[in-house]
Homo-oligomer: A and B are copies of this chain.
Amino acid sequence: MSRKRIGIMISGRGSNMAALIVACREGRLDAEVALVLSDVADAEGLERAENLDVPARAIVPKKYRTKLDGDDARAYAEAFREAGVEFICLAGFMRIVKAPLLEAFPGRILNIHPSLLPSFPGLEAQRQAWEHGVKFSGCTVHFVDASLDGGPIIAQRIVPVLDDDTAETLAERILTEEHELYAEAVGKVLSGRYRVMGRRVVRT
């Protein structure tokens, strides 16, 4: 059986992207990153992907600023299909992904978010958590649907908030966990050994 081909979408430095690429190389994840796409022309992660010998390019959406929709979304779907991609991982992609791409990869788009969802969806989740004064935060890998950070949860990991944390030190510790969690969660989905019951994603 050939290794599953995954695509990654980024907007920034692509640290979760790099973690997934390395997990594949080291065999912790039985897959291959076939293509990285960025909506930002000069995203730092593009160079990083190239340095890791992964094809990477920007497709800058023409129409909207905060979502990926219409022809722009279809261009992403087309590029991933041409690269033989079966699963897509969002890794710091800063737009809401809309129907044309969701429908091209139904139940096969994943995202990682730096909080224990459903707490603190949206931007600056780590700062939101810190300001709210929770004693534990963490990160969440979930299926992407039309909602904001709201699809069924695949995996989560806990990070304690310390009394002397700043939003920044908390974000750093969460990021370390994200790098491990994402590979683990993608592996669970690629294995196909799960069922979605209502919103609950359980192993089979």
A interface list, Cβ under 8 A from B: 116-120, 130-136, 138, 152-153, 155-156, 158, 163-164, 198-203
Residue of B nearest to A118 (CB): B119
| Contacts A116-B116, A118-B119, A119-B118; A203 near B163 (Cβ below 8 A) | yes
Whole-angstrom CA separation of A33 from B133 in the bound complex: 28
Min Cβ gap A105→B in Å is 21
| Contacts A158-B158, A163-B203, A202-B163; A118 near B136 (Cβ below 8 A) | no
Copies of this chain, whole number:
2
Is B138 in contact with A153, judged by CB distance below 8 angstroms?
A: no
Min Cβ gap A31→B in Å is 22
Whole-angstrom CA separation of A135 from B130 in the bound complex: 21
Is A158 in contact with B133, judged by CB distance below 8 angstroms?
A: no
